[in-house]
Structure 1
Amino acid sequence: MNVYAPLQSYLAEREEISVVMTYKEIEALLGRKLPPTAYGVHKRQWWANTETHSQALAWLRAKRKARLDVNHDRVTFTSVLASLAPPAVRPIDGMAELHLKGLNSAAKRMLEDIAEEKGVSPEDAAVTLINQSALKRRAATLDWFAANTAISKTSSVDLIRADRDGR
């Protein structure tokens, strides 16, 4: 018998979109301690949604994906069926809400890491990352202009006066 079958059954029976479980709750359900790799430095890999891992098959067969909260040793098992529904779109400052559907697995993983580090949602992590990128790009643009444009010998005060007087 698969040692993770009780977890699969439990998750399959849940109607909630997300089921949050601590390691202790999972161990109580399984009737045994999770292996050291579920706790160690490589715990992200142990909790990965990969069909080559027997533990992952338990939640994947229950039509759920696991998301590890590394800081609190708990896992959120989210229904795969819920993720098939189209995301809601609401305007934010004249822009559509950020959709993360088109990201590759490396980009999604990066956002999940940032989200866990900062204790925010992946969407908020994406906003943080885009804001940081925009500031770096703006700084690089200003540096480029500083390095590639001639410095005017006319003071800005004189330019303003000339503009004002020319009207």
Structure 2
Amino acid sequence: MGKYDPLGGYLRRLKTDSVDLGFAEIERILGAMLPKSAQRPQWWANQIDPQGRHVQTRAWREAGYDAFPEAGAERVRFVRRQV
């Protein structure tokens, strides 16, 4: 299991189209700390990197969500993608 799989599982179980999570909540879901680079909006990019460097993106994208960080707030809104 990948480090970010618990986040993907959490999002898959949601019945809502969006959810706001603080970094502390995400860390509880993961059972691990987010890296310092999560402070940067680029870390939350919604494009899956073909080289696999951004493994975190795969977790929310495969769950059907896009991530939108709140600048300077240590919060992220996950919004269900329209298919």
Q: By the TM > 0.5 criterion, same fold?
A: yes
In the TM superposition, what are the counterparts of 1:57-76 in structure 2 within 5 Å?
A: 57-76=58-77
Aligned to 1:37: 37
Structure with the greater alpha carbon radius of gyration: 1
Distance (Å, rounded) in 2 between the aligned partners of 1:18 and 1:71: 20
Shift of residue 63, structure 1, vs aligned partner: 0.4
Q: TM-score, normalised by structure 2?
A: 0.90
Aligned to 1:105: none
Distance (Å, rounded) in 2 between the aligned partners of 1:75 and 1:44: 10
Structure 2 unaligned blocks of 5 or more? none
In the TM superposition, what are the counterparts of 1:71-110 in structure 2 within 5 Å?
A: 71-81=72-82, 84=83
Distance (Å, rounded) in 1 between the aligned partners of 2:59 and 2:19: 14
Partner SS state of residue 78, structure 1: strand
Higher strand share goes to which structure?
Answer: 2
Partner SS state of residue 48, structure 2: coil
Amino acid at match of 2:63: A
Structure 1 residue ranges, 4+ long, deviating more than 6 angstroms after superposition: none
Identity of aligned residues (%): 38
Aligned to 1:50: 47
In the TM superposition, what are the counterparts of 1:139-150 in structure 2 within 5 Å?
A: none
Distance (Å, rounded) in 2 between the aligned partners of 1:50 and 1:37: 16
Higher helix share goes to which structure?
Answer: 1
Aligned to 1:25: 25
Distance (Å, rounded) in 1 between the aligned partners of 2:48 and 2:11: 17
1:50-75 per-position Cα deviation (integer Å, ceiling 9, x unaligned): 20110010000000000010131100
Partner SS state of residue 49, structure 1: coil
Q: Which has the higher contact order (CA 8 A, sep 6+)?
A: 2
In the TM superposition, what are the counterparts of 1:111-126 in structure 2 within 5 Å?
A: none
Amino acid at match of 1:47: W
